[in-house]
Amino acid sequence: MKTYKAIKYTLFVCCYIFWVASGVLISVGIYAKVAKENDVVDTLTTDPALLLLAVGSLMFLITFLGCFGALRDGSVLLKMFLGILLVVFLLQITAAVLGFLFSDMVHTRTELLMKKAIALYREDMDLENVIDFVQKKFLCCGVDYYTDWSQNAYFNCSDNNPSLEACGVPFSCCVRQLHETVFNSMCGYESQRKEESSIRKHIHTHGCLAKIVLWGEQNLSLVGGISISSLCLEICMISLAAAQIGQIQKVQDKRKQVESRTALRSEGDSSF
């Protein structure tokens, strides 16, 4: 009985923590979606608000089944929780294996996705903030090169572009100077028209994709540790759910045996 209670409440606490976290993700995603005035970005891959909503909703469903299944000894809910978690676990393993085997294809798809995000810059506030954060964090500009910003309607170099930012790059590409008191947000003005050697002091010219890949290679232990930890946590929750289902089944079998014995005794007593 003590082992059963330990399994039950450990599973409940784990699921409850992730349940609360999923509620926070959904709340942030809804707020971000509602706060947008003119939202023209409606794809899951390029809209951070939709991504938060999708991930949060999936986590909420899974952990809801785990929480109430563990607390109420619901074998049906626990079996649904176990099945969905197994599917998610297998999908993660499959994605990791395919990503390793087809790394060139993943690289190409990531490059196309990032270029699509650049084209939608200024169309979505959340996406704009994410791109600015990445460029400032990794000291980069564009996907492969700073001229990738010509694919954006506000920054392209066409003669018909009326934008003041035409043929430039966003402020997040700018190099922060030492002892700089006032930040020059127009440092990327018409930088695409100039030669790289003349603008290196003002903006970062290298693309973000190569820098992100390099950061991943340099921090492989950190990335691998986080991935393995998440998989181990999933395995732990799968094991706890399976153990509780087994305990519930044993209790149900014992009840059936007791009920059948009681029925036999009652039949015997009635025969006399």
Q: What is the CATH number of the domain that holds 116?
A: 1.10.1450.10
Phi, psi of 256 (to 5 degrees): -65, -40
Assigned domain for 184 exists:
yes
Measuring CA to CA, how many Å separate 16 from each of 9, 12, 62, 175? 10, 6, 11, 45
Assigned domain for 153 exists:
yes
Do 141 and 243 lie in one domain? The reply is: no
Average pLDDT over residues 115-141: 89
CA-CA distance, 3 to 102, in Å (whole number)?
A: 45
- Using alpha carbons only, give the angle 121, 125, 199 rounded to the nearest 5 degrees: 45
Full residue range of the structural domain in which residue 82 is found: 1-101+220-247
16 Cβ contact list (under 8 Å, min separation 6): 63, 67
Task: Read off the pLDDT of residues 87-97 as tens digits, 9 standing for 90 and up.
Answer: 999 998 998 88
Task: Read off the pLDDT of residues 19-50 as tens digits, 9 standing for 90 and up.
Answer: 999 999 899 888 877 776 555 555 656 677 88
Q: How far is CA 207 from its chain centroid?
A: 23
41 Cβ contact list (under 8 Å, min separation 6): 47, 120, 123, 124, 127
Give me the pLDDT at residue 6, please: 87
Do 68 and 79 lie in one domain? The reply is: yes
Do 115 and 185 lie in one domain? The reply is: yes
Do 181 and 212 lie in one domain? The reply is: yes
Do 9 and 140 lie in one domain? The reply is: no
| Selected residue with higher pLDDT from 264 and 131 | 131
Q: Structurally, how many domains does the chain consist of?
A: 2
Q: Which one of 218, 236, 267 terminates a domain? A: 218
Q: Which one of 181, 199, 218 terminates a domain? A: 218
Do 94 and 184 lie in one domain? The reply is: no
Given pLDDT bands bounded at 50, 70 and 90, which one contains residue 140?
A: very high
Task: Read off the pLDDT of residues 62-80 as tens digits, 9 standing for 90 and up.
Answer: 999 988 888 888 889 999 9
pLDDT over threshold 90, residue 208? yes
Instruction: Give the global pTM.
Output: 0.75
pLDDT over threshold 90, residue 135? yes
52, 32 in Cβ contact below 8 A? yes
Residues facing 145 on adjacent strands: 206
17, 67 in Cβ contact below 8 A? no
152, 122 in Cβ contact below 8 A? yes
Whole-number mean pLDDT of the chain? 85
Average pLDDT over residues 168-196: 81
Assigned domain for 256 exists:
no
pLDDT over threshold 70, residue 114? yes
| 3-class state of residue 206 by DSSP | strand
Give me the pLDDT at residue 266, please: 66
Do 183 and 54 lie in one domain? The reply is: no
Do 19 and 90 lie in one domain? The reply is: yes
Assigned domain for 54 exists:
yes
| 3-class state of residue 9 by DSSP | helix
Do 32 and 126 lie in one domain? The reply is: no
Give me the pLDDT at residue 38, please: 55
Assigned domain for 72 exists:
yes
Do 58 and 110 lie in one domain? The reply is: no
For 215, the token pair is 């950061």
Average pLDDT over residues 166-190: 81
Cβ atoms < 10 Å from Cβ of 258: 10
CA-CA distance, 98 to 92, in Å (whole number)?
A: 10
Element (H, E) at 122: none
- Using alpha carbons only, give the angle 240, 243, 246 rounded to the nearest 5 degrees: 150
pLDDT over threshold 70, residue 1? no
